[in-house]
Amino acid sequence: MTDADGGRARPAVSLEAAIVARRYYIDDKQKNEIADELGISRFKVARLLDEAKASGIVRISVDMPADIDLPLGEEVARSYGIGRAIVVRAIEAAPDATGSLIGEAGAQYLRGILGADDVLGISWGTSLTALVDAVTDLAPADVVQMVGGMRAGRLEVGGAELVRRLTRTTGGRGFALHAPLLVRSAAMAEELRADPSLSDSTDRFSRLTIALVGIGSWNPPKSSLYGEFTEAERAELVQQGAVADLCTFVFDAEGRALDSPALQRAVGISAAELARVPEVIAVAGGDEKVAAIAAALRSGTVSTLVTDSTTARSLLARADSV
């Protein structure tokens, strides 16, 4: 069928379909509300909405921010088997701005998914600091420090400070983990994890719904955790193939978690607790971290990666290299 000008005519659509579409898409009514108001079944509401889309009176588009490379992100996510990758376009003329861009993209994503009923966990890292600095408004969710603190001077901004900054912005409750990241022995670490003085934080590990994590590199060494171990402990982990760390876990190039007495000295969320978190968001980028990010993605720990386009292309280049 053609119209008077010889073009393809739009399929006829009923007035009822237009009314239903307006109430659903413009007035934000639920299908059952519309059904009750119009005296029709919910199934008919769904059919009329389909009719409205098919006729062309309802046209749905998704406007992605100009600085997000959606196709590249989808390719990275598919290649590594993760839920999604949010890839911000790096500015070649301003490489020093990449960290801030990654932080802003992470803050934007977090803003869209975090609700007041969520419990948000956070570790540490330069990229996470950039994310927290980019946050201007968030739902007032509880925020929990997932790993103990580094020794003085190891980090410019530690996990407890990130918790404080986030909750100052959001108005939610903060739960810092007032313990060192690594203690003298595995027995001491176990005692601390069970200590009532830390229970406000540690009891919430099993309730986390979203976790923000950084990724550390072991070759080249660009990791705060790397510097916490003794030289002998580092040598043992490197001999096992250490490539990356995330929270208090160390992975080889294939994403296998390494086991060592050194890691048993850590105070923080357990692997089982982190595995139960529905959304684990890794925020990381940079040429020196490509191997580490690839290893972390292969571990199955991460559901969402926030990174830059240069790192994303390097990740694709090594996706099948192991």
- 70-317 is classed in which CATH architecture? 3-Layer(aba) Sandwich (3.40)
Residue with tokens 């919910």: 42
CA distance 296 to 283: 11
Q: Are 271 and 295 in contact (CB under 8 A)?
A: no
Grade residue 65 by pLDDT with cuts at 50, 70 and 90: low
Residues 315, 96, 310: CA angle, nearest 5 degrees = 20
pLDDT at site 137: 87
Question: For 139-191, what is each residue's pLDDT tens digit?
Answer: 999 999 999 987 644 555 688 899 999 998 888 999 999 999 889 898 998 89
pLDDT at site 10: 42
Helical residues (DSSP H) of 125-270, grouped into ranges = 126-134, 159-170, 186-194, 199-202, 231-239
Q: Is residue 246 classed as helix, strand or coil in its secondary structure?
A: strand
Q: Is the pLDDT of residue 66 over 70?
A: no
Question: For 76-104, what is each residue's pLDDT tens digit?
Answer: 999 999 999 999 998 775 667 788 899 99
Closest CA to 320 of 87, 84, 79, 85: 79
1-61, what's its fold? Arc Repressor Mutant, subunit A (1.10.10)
Domain ranges of the chain: 1-61, 70-317
